[in-house]
Amino acid sequence: MSQSFQAYLQQAKQRADRALNLYVGSFASPYSPADSSEYLARLQQAMQYSLINGGKRVRPVLVYAAANAINPDTSASSNADKVACAVEMIHAYSLIHDDLPAMDDDDLRRGQPTCHKAFDEATAILAGDALQARAFELLTELEECPAETQLTLVKILSTASGQQGMVGGQAIDLGAADQTIDLEHLEIIHRLKTGALIRAAVAMGAILANASTQQLADLDRYAEAIGLAFQVQDDILDIESDTATLGKTQGADQALNKPTYPALLGLGGAKEKARQLHQQALTALEGIGDSAQTLKDLSSYIISRSH
Amino acid sequence: MSQSFQAYLQQAKQRADRALNLYVGSFASPYSPADSSEYLARLQQAMQYSLINGGKRVRPVLVYAAANAINPDTSASSNADKVACAVEMIHAYSLIHDDLPAMDDDDLRRGQPTCHKAFDEATAILAGDALQARAFELLTELEECPAETQLTLVKILSTASGQQGMVGGQAIDLGAADQTIDLEHLEIIHRLKTGALIRAAVAMGAILANASTQQLADLDRYAEAIGLAFQVQDDILDIESDTATLGKTQGADQALNKPTYPALLGLGGAKEKARQLHQQALTALEGIGDSAQTLKDLSSYIISRSH
């Protein structure tokens, strides 16, 4: 990873963290009496706890980088922050619900107690629900942005996160534990569970910046490749990394008998797969030109990260 | 209840049921490979199970009736169906999550096993999550409707259902179990937990029909009154009705030591409160004129229903 890209990544992450803190914060509502804020404090804390926790912010950075590939001014705008936060809030809610005892039953997330451990199960369920609602609300709050564009963003995010996107992938994934599945089936899980939201992040950043149909198609092929690469690398890290570096329980997938790329392809085969996907991602960006450099660097980062 | 209103209610409920069945059904997605539908079947079933279950459809009927008070053509349109379904999907997801063991731990809902009993907890969590996403997606699918209007609908529904609306109310409600609370606190809970979504249903129907600012303000005062009346009557039914009529466990609120209007006002005081709120609702509609008759009948129905 080049020094300049490392600095970019650090800055983009800090920018996303600031924006998340700002947009998850208390906000006016016609339904909430002014003096009820104390009762909502615990819910608010749980939302913030799960959102502001040292995450890698891959999806927000993808929003910024995709917008930047088309129009740097758009990428620097507060609208890009809101879109980045909306995508990250969907991701954060899915992690909260995924960690629940009835789902993956995980105690650790990014080195910290999971939301239901730090608070309680009921609060964790509600914090996830509220983060999802806030994500869509935030997309209606863009400034000097045509309503058509905002509505398109709502459509993309809701489709990517729903039954035939992220949530559908989680449902298939739960059903696949303890099952023998093949590579095709594993890829369907990841295309939905993590791939859909990563594609949405790239598409949303690009649409905010008024990308052409051709640019959107190129960027979608890029996003599809890095979405899978991200998951392959996750599976590799579950085997190779230790719990301290990973920030979650090492070997958790193996312990749950979850299907993984290394289990199906061997560790070497999984690494080769990640390299191939990285190459596909670079090829997809050829038509975009020099402004896609950050997206290329992000693809390298995804397959070389250690946590 | 007049015979003609009874017939209207029956027809509106059937119309909502048909629309829910249509719009929750399988739909195309760029993320979902064509042959993965079998893996998503269980999630789809859980969503349908919780949505198509003999519910009263109070919120969809309010969408239709509010639209009808402003413009009967809008009320009859498929756009009204989509708005009605979006609101009901939010309501349905909140019931699924509310019934979970970590929340109210309810086994029965409308006389049937709750979603996590009929399926399993993980599927119930995901079905609720997917219904929320589908609700927002549906609001982006209106036909011949300005993007500004659709975006306003997304904004209203997300605000009403989120942290400072329905979910916030549930969080406060959970914290209030086993606590001694006063009338003001109880009203805050209900304004958020059920009131916000009922106000959203009325506002969304009216906005779809291009209501004026004055009409929206009148309808909002109406919706605020019936929202509270609905909850007061719910509390009364929890005491007076039997489990078979209610379709859920009678006395469940009392068993959970939940604060209720009868507990604070006595049964007679609670009934008087419901009558006062009904009167406020009728007064709020005076400026709307004859086209608000169905909304008036709905208010009567809400405080006289037996389940």
Torsion on CA atoms B132, B135, B140, B144, rounded to nearest 10: -170
Candidates A155, A163, A179: best to mutate against B (most CBs of B within 10 A) is A163
Contact yes or no for B229/B284 (Cβ under 8 A): no
pLDDT in tens, A102-116: 999 999 988 899 999
Q: A193-216: buried (b, 16+ CB within 10 Å) or exposed (e) per residue? A: bbbbbbbbbbbbbbbbbebeeebe
pLDDT > 90 fraction of chain A, expressed in percent and rounded: 74
- Cα Rg of chain A (Å, integer): 19
Domain that includes residue A10, residue range: 3-24+37-304
Contact yes or no for A233/A305 (Cβ under 8 A): yes
Q: What is the CATH number of the domain that holds A46?
A: 1.10.600.10
Contact yes or no for A97/A142 (Cβ under 8 A): no
pLDDT in tens, A266-287: 999 999 999 999 999 999 999 9
Q: Is the pLDDT of residue B282 over 90?
A: yes
Q: Does B171 contact chain A (CB < 8 Å)?
A: yes
At A142, the pLDDT band (50, 70, 90 cuts) reads very high
Instruction: Supply the pLDDT for residue A26.
Output: 61
Residue contact A133–B196, C-beta within 8 A = no
Instruction: Supply the pLDDT for residue A163.
Output: 93
Contact yes or no for A46/A119 (Cβ under 8 A): yes
- Calculate mean pLDDT across residues B28-46: 71
pLDDT in tens, A56-97: 999 999 999 999 999 999 999 999 999 999 999 999 999 999
Amino acid present at A91: H
At B171, give phi and psi (nearest 5°): -65, -45
Greater pLDDT, B23 or B243:
B23
Residues paired with A108 in a beta bridge = A113
- Dihedral-angle region of residue A181 (phi above 0 means left; psi in -120 to 50 means alpha; beta otherwise): beta
At B55, give phi and psi (nearest 5°): -60, 160
At B80, the pLDDT band (50, 70, 90 cuts) reads very high
Q: Which of A38-52, B68-82, B176-190 has the highest mean pLDDT?
A: B68-82
A32 domain-assigned: no
Residue contact A125–B125, C-beta within 8 A = yes
A132 domain-assigned: yes
Q: Is the pLDDT of residue A50 over 60?
A: yes
Total number of domains constituting chain A: 1
A168 domain-assigned: yes
User: Smallest Cβ distance to B171: which of A40, A134, A160?
Assistant: A40
Instruction: Supply the pLDDT for residue A41.
Output: 84
Instruction: Supply the pLDDT for residue B244.
Output: 57
Q: Which residues in B lie closer than 8 A to residue A94 (C-beta atoms)?
A: 129
Measured CA to CA, the distance from residue A233 to residue A228 in angstroms comes to 9
pTM: predicted TM-score of the whole model, two decimal places? 0.94
Contact yes or no for A75/A12 (Cβ under 8 A): no
Q: Which residues in B lie closer than 8 A to residue A100 (C-beta atoms)?
A: 102, 125
- Calculate mean pLDDT across residues B201-211: 98
Q: Is the pLDDT of residue B227 over 70?
A: yes
Q: Does B191 contact chain A (CB < 8 Å)?
A: yes
A67 domain-assigned: yes
Contact yes or no for B265/B183 (Cβ under 8 A): yes
**Cα torsion angle, B238, B241, B244, B250, sign:** positive
